[in-house]
Amino acid sequence: MHPITPQQPHPLFNTAATRRMEQQAASALPPHTL
């Protein structure tokens, strides 16, 4: 584990990784659920 600090040179996640996580989470929801 690494501590999270504002001085980190790299982002925790990039946009593509965040979208993949969102799509996976959305696919686990029942139909017509936001």
pLDDT of amino acid 15: 85
The better pLDDT of the pair 34, 17 is held by 17
Q: Is the pLDDT confidence value at 5 over 80?
A: no
**Buried b / exposed e across 1-34, counting CB within 10 Å, b at 16+?**
eeeeeeeeeeeeeeeeeeeeeeeeeeeeeeeeee
Position of tokens 């017509």? Answer: 32
Q: What is the reported pTM?
A: 0.51
Contact 16, 23 (CB under 8 A): no
Quote the CA–CA distance of 32 and 9 in Å, as a whole number.
Answer: 39
